[in-house]
Amino acid sequence: MTHASTLAEHVDNLEIPDELDRDWFTSSFLVSCGIDPHSDVADLCEDVLLASVLGDDAAFHLRPGGWRLNVAGTAVKALLTGALLGAALFHYGATDIPAELLPAVIPLVVDVNRVRLSRRERELLVPLRIASAGLGEMAVSPHVLYNRLEPSVRAELNFGDFADFCDRLIAAGHLDDAGLGDVRTRPGGRPAWIRVTWT
């Protein structure tokens, strides 16, 4: 199987309008990633994107003409990537955490820059490891990882859900069980890959 690009390269190559709207997001972005715009995955992507940007601002989400986003270039790419990855992990089965909170958790466990996209195969290959937490291969308690999240995220994320999320990754072989309830993350050189297909 060939993978045309990383997700980051794919997003970099997109012509992103100054003002994002639902039509562009579904018809251009999602379709370019191989996602049917009339699918549950597309709904998930949209929900995660809007939650990332708008939080609880329903009036914006439901504004008459549909939502529109004015976000600077690099930030919008991070939003698009986060929305797609959040939806992908949820779709894959990482359903312990609400989908809208996954973008905030993903940097703890995913090497975002190495996520690979295959439009032809309609799939993502997601490398799991602690990419930026600076924890190396230390055995850590899920509490330590949880406390690395932003306070605003922790205010909405149940710790038990997060611990279950870690357990799920251990069970799937993507994190290592370090015993005594701790987890050990994979080194960057040998991540565990998750394959997510849009079916």
| Interface with other proteins (CB under 8 A), residue from 24, 28, 31, 43 | 43
Interacting span for other proteins (CB under 8 A) from 3-11, 131-139, 159-167, 184-192: 159-167
With respect to other proteins, which residue has the nearer C-beta, 36 or 176?
36
With respect to other proteins, which residue has the nearer C-beta, 114 or 154?
154
With respect to other proteins, which residue has the nearer C-beta, 22 or 77?
22
* DSSP string computed for 145-157: HHHTS-HHHHTTS
CA distances from 166 to 20, 47, 95, 124, 154 (A): 34, 23, 11, 21, 15
The answer to the question of residue 4 lying near other proteins (CB under 8 A) is no
The answer to the question of residue 188 lying near other proteins (CB under 8 A) is no
With respect to other proteins, which residue has the nearer C-beta, 124 or 131?
124
Which residue(s) pair with 179 in the sheet? Answer: 182
The answer to the question of residue 171 lying near other proteins (CB under 8 A) is no
Minimum distance from CB of 85 to other proteins (Å)?
Answer: 16
Q: Which amino acid is at 25?
A: F
Minimum distance from CB of 161 to other proteins (Å)?
Answer: 5
Task: Give the tokens for residue 132.
Answer: 């930026």
Q: Are 99 and 86 in contact (CB under 8 A)?
A: yes
| Interface with other proteins (CB under 8 A), residue from 121, 156, 167, 176 | 156
Reported for 172-181, long-range contacts at CB under 8 A and 24+ positions apart, including other chains, are 174/109, 174/128, 175/109, 175/128, 178/139, 178/140, 179/139, 181/141, 181/142
**Which of the residues 103 through 132 are near other proteins (CB under 8 A)?**
none
The answer to the question of residue 97 lying near other proteins (CB under 8 A) is yes
The answer to the question of residue 193 lying near other proteins (CB under 8 A) is no
The set of residues, in sequence order, having a beta carbon less than 8 Å from that of 190 and lying 6+ positions away, is none
Residue holding tokens 């149940």? 158
The answer to the question of residue 59 lying near other proteins (CB under 8 A) is yes
Q: Are 90 and 99 in contact (CB under 8 A)?
A: yes
Binding site for other proteins (CB under 8 A): 22, 38, 40, 43-44, 46-47, 55-59, 61-67, 90, 95-99, 154-161
